[in-house]
Structure 1
């Protein structure tokens, strides 16, 4: 049972990570005043976020791996950015649900030492 919870929490974390990138892209493609800006934001926002994740959080392979409170703050900001991107693009309910799912997953990971 414990293995299932740990695996489920880790899988959910992965899908939430992808969700942040998707939310940032969606926000970008809906935010700009003209097509060129929307394309730039729609492709650029996920690229910037993916680069930050790769630099600081990427599963033990990040060149500047964060630990402890710095990791927790970065993670909260990362997933908060996904929730805010959804809300800013008009999907407020989706942003709230995204944030709630992240909080539940974080509690599960902390409780069961997953990820």
Structure 2
């Protein structure tokens, strides 16, 4: 059984993952390119991000990585989200995203997986 703290941590992690996908769409739309290309990028970037997350970063990823490699991938993924926010002119918000992910990751590592 999942504890309340772990459940909250998993929910926050999922919301942060969705935020990175939305940031990718916004970043794709903000490119200095013709509208058709911007629309394509706004669709393709989050799809590519989702495919990478599903293959390497998710708890049920298709490719089994060592725990340290998985954490490194996840960290890079959220730093990429923060960098896209910075490129959009929201550097502080990008920093908040990365710090929030670190806090949630620490919470999940410390929270027990089962209730005693």
Greater Cα shift, 31-40 or 10-19: 31-40
1:3-18 to 2 correspondence within 5 Å?
3-18=3-18
Q: Give distance in 2, aligned partners of 1:85 and 1:13.
A: 18
Two-structure CA RMSD over aligned residues (Å): 1.7
Task: Compare the two structures and name the one with the higher helix fraction.
Answer: 1
Contact 2:23 2:85 in 1 (8 A): yes
Q: 1:99 to 1:57 in 2, by over 3 A?
A: closer
5+ residue gaps, structure 2, are: none
Note if 1:89 corresponds to 2:88: yes
CA deviation map 1:27-66 (0-9, x unaligned): 1101232212211221111011111111123332x32132
* Deviation for aligned residue 1:100: 1.4
Structure 2 contact 27–88 (Cα < 8 Å) conserved: yes
TM-score (normalizing by structure 1): 0.87
Per-residue CA distance 1:68-89 (angstroms, 9 max, x = gap): 1110111001111111111111
Determine whether 1:57 maps to 2:57: yes
Q: Distance in 2 between matches of 1:97 and 1:88?
A: 15
The Cα shift of 1:113 comes to: 4.8
Q: Which residue of structure 1 aligns with residue 101 of structure 2? A: 102
Q: How many equivalent pairs are there?
A: 112
Alignment TM-score, normalising by the size of structure 2 = 0.86
Matching of residues 12-27 of structure 1 within 5 Å: 12-27=12-27
